[in-house]
Chains A and B, each alone.
Chain A
Amino acid sequence: MTVSVLAGGLCSTVQDLGRVGYGAIGVGRAGALDQDALCLANSLVGNAPGAAGMEITLAGPRLKFETGAAFALCGAPFDIRLDGRSLEAWRSHRAFAGSVLEFTQARSGARAWLALAGGIDLPCVLGSRSTDLNAGLGPLPRTLNPGDRLPLGAPSDRPKENAPRWSLDPRPWFATADASPLRLLPGRDLPQLEQRSLDVLCRQPFRISATSNRVALRLDGDPLQFRHSLECVSEPLVEGVVQLPPDGRPMILLGEHPVSGGYPCIGIIAAVDHARLAQARPGAAVRFTLISAAEAHRLREERQRARSELMAHIRRRLEQA
């Protein structure tokens, strides 16, 4: 059970839910930048939610199935073709031995997650198959290249031979970073911002810089300033933290962020919007709006619940098929 890479695309990597529990030795999580999308894609092909899949970015790869396998794509709208035939995303399909799967560029957003029945079965490194490009970690510590062969695990017996004919509604699960303001929880150093900078943060758009990657989204805009310079001691970090380096241009940390760092923290993107951070493409204009912790918790729980319900629903339908 193998999938071969014919063309790597712009930045395709192997990702699962990341390396949890190694922060104390400086090892970050990495993992799929939108875990909901990976879990849903995995559910569609009968995998465990955290099976390793492929994260594709802006321009997708070209893949050859050496053996038949079910697959599903969730995330940004890419045009996908299997042996030249256009396919819908957000549903399960079956590829035959020798089939070639191609992706065109994302029509909006930036990233999507390809689940393959059985999951990509590379050996775990520190508990995960995820590629951490920044730290150079993982069973495949780099982006996919032509000639790479990805072994697949044994698929579950669902879906059966015939791929299901239904698809998921992507609307609750996919939105671009600029579709609406990103919801921001106030960070430790937010009160130290100059009044004018606080106004800029809450009212003006920021452009996603082309230097953004899986470590952080870097934002261009009116530089933000503190009322006085801040002395910070390096402190542990999490994804979603918005740091303000001395150049005044905010950075939003993503899955490959350093485990600790010393820049001031002006906010944290609410968990409900993390999936949208993964969809930020260079040049997009994002805005921020402050929300309360209670609201952020409520929105996160709502999304978690909806995801669990949908995954249970998918499981039931696959069993019926």
Chain B
Amino acid sequence: MSWPQFEPLGECSLIVRWEQKIDQSLNARVHALARAIAAAALPGIEEIVPGYASLLLRFDPTYWGGQCAHAHEALRSRIEPMLRQAYPALSGEILEIEVRYGGADGPDLVALADAHGLDPHEFVARHCAPTYQVAMLGFAPGFPYLLGLDVRLHSPRRSTPRVRVPAGSVAIGGAQTGIYPSELPGGWHLIGRTRIRLFDAARKPPCLLKPGDRVRFVPIDGPAGASSEPGA
């Protein structure tokens, strides 16, 4: 069982980091610790941000013992015991997302399939096969980082990022796949697009997906949309 490192990130933040690894069970630990810290309602905690294999705590050091330099230590000693608690696997809902692959919706599909020595249809089939798990939301509002990409599809990021990636683009970056919730700059390869609205600040909750949810991509030919059904 791995024990995380505690690392200050500036004066008012603390990173709890397990390993530099994308791994489902590490990610479950991250979210379990995030829940435990939230439940403990510690004073002065402004934000708990889970990552893949790390967790960021933003806090007001004045709540953690006059001398700021000791705040990180004080916080650490409160959190460490929480690491001994059992951590349940993340659970969530299953969502099917319709994607139109290739063409104008996925301008990088053919070249990327080619680079992997795969036929584009085979590439799409491999992208649709897994049930992905939402590891975290980050990068931009509602951007889901999805775990479970077929190793054959791992692809280094584009050497030059795009200035504008259209909203709904389904993309691959390294060992990760994700969906751009809005028009953003981005360096991932675009293989398809969905019309599903992942983020809406006026909606409650604003994000369609949360960590622990599972996602299946369903290829379609017509206009891309989304359907949400239980079971898979």
Chain A residues near B (Cβ < 8 Å):
20-27, 125-126, 134-137, 185, 188, 231-238, 240-241, 258-262, 265, 268-271, 293-294, 296-298, 300-301, 304
Bound Cα distance from A297 to B54, whole angstroms: 24
Q: Considering only CB atoms, which chain B residue lies closest to A260 in the complex?
A: B138
Bound Cα distance from A137 to B53, whole angstroms: 28
Residues of A within 8 A of B11 (CB): 270-271, 293, 296-297, 300
Q: A26: shortest Cβ distance to chain B, in Å? A: 4
Bound Cα distance from A25 to B12, whole angstroms: 20
Residues of A within 8 A of B28 (CB): none
Bound Cα distance from A139 to B220, whole angstroms: 36
Q: A187: shortest Cβ distance to chain B, in Å? A: 8
Residues of A within 8 A of B13 (CB): 238
Bound Cα distance from A126 to B206, whole angstroms: 9
Residues of B within 8 A of A185 (CB): 8, 10
* Chain B positions 26 through 65: 1 when the CB is less than 8 Å from some CB of chain A, otherwise 0: 0000000010000000000011111111111010011000
- How many A-B pairs with Cβ below 8 Å? 134
Bound Cα distance from A153 to B176, whole angstroms: 46
Bound Cα distance from A284 to B33, whole angstroms: 43
Beyond A234-B52, A238-B9, is A137–B141 a contact (Cβ under 8 Å)?
A: yes
Q: A141: shortest Cβ distance to chain B, in Å? A: 9
Residues of A within 8 A of B50 (CB): 24, 236
Bound Cα distance from A125 to B182, whole angstroms: 17
Chain B residues within 8 Å of chain A by Cβ, number: 51
Residues of A within 8 A of B199 (CB): 25-26
Q: B12: shortest Cβ distance to chain A, in Å? A: 7
Beyond A135-B141, A270-B11, is A236–B69 a contact (Cβ under 8 Å)?
A: no
Residue B113 is within 8 A (CB to CB) of chain A in the complex: no
Q: Which of A26, A137, A304 lies in contact with B138, CB distance below 8 A?
A: A26
Given A26-B140, A296-B10; 6 other pairs, CB 8 A cutoff: A21-B47, A23-B58, A233-B21, A235-B51, A236-B49, A296-B11
Q: Are B68 and A258 in contact (CB under 8 A)?
A: no
From residue 176 to 192 of chain B, which have CB atoms closer than 8 A to chain A?
176, 181-183
Residue B143 is within 8 A (CB to CB) of chain A in the complex: yes
Beyond A23-B58, A236-B56, A271-B11, is A294–B141 a contact (Cβ under 8 Å)?
A: no
Q: Which of B15, B142, B201 lies in contact with A236, CB distance below 8 A?
A: B15
Bound Cα distance from A24 to B144, whole angstroms: 11
Residues of A within 8 A of B145 (CB): 234
Residues of B within 8 A of A232 (CB): 20
Q: Are A233 and B10 in contact (CB under 8 A)?
A: no
Bound Cα distance from A20 to B201, whole angstroms: 14
A-B pairs with beta carbons under 8 Å apart, 6 shown: A20-B46, A26-B138, A235-B53, A236-B15, A236-B55, A297-B61
Q: Are B139 and A235 in contact (CB under 8 A)?
A: no
Residue B94 is within 8 A (CB to CB) of chain A in the complex: no
Q: Are B20 and A238 in contact (CB under 8 A)?
A: no
Q: Are B137 and A235 in contact (CB under 8 A)?
A: no
Q: Are B15 and A26 in contact (CB under 8 A)?
A: no
Residues of A within 8 A of B141 (CB): 22, 25-27, 135, 137
Q: Which of A22, A26, A241, A270 lies in contact with B139, CB distance below 8 A?
A: A26
Q: Are B205 and A235 in contact (CB under 8 A)?
A: no
Q: Are B47 and A25 in contact (CB under 8 A)?
A: no
Residues of A within 8 A of B67 (CB): 297
Bound Cα distance from A269 to B8, whole angstroms: 13
Bound Cα distance from A27 to B137, whole angstroms: 9
Q: Are B10 and A260 in contact (CB under 8 A)?
A: no
Bound Cα distance from A269 to B13, whole angstroms: 13
Residue B207 is within 8 A (CB to CB) of chain A in the complex: yes
Q: Considering only CB atoms, which chain B residue lies closest to A295 in the complex?
A: B69
Q: B40: shortest Cβ distance to chain A, in Å? A: 16
Most buried by A among B10, B61, B174: B10
Bound Cα distance from A268 to B8, whole angstroms: 10
Q: Considering only CB atoms, which chain A residue lies closest to B23 in the complex?
A: A233
Q: Are B138 and A301 in contact (CB under 8 A)?
A: no
Q: A321: shortest Cβ distance to chain B, in Å? A: 31
Q: A293: shortest Cβ distance to chain B, in Å? A: 6
Q: Are B139 and A261 in contact (CB under 8 A)?
A: yes
Residues of A within 8 A of B10 (CB): 185, 238, 240-241, 268-271, 296
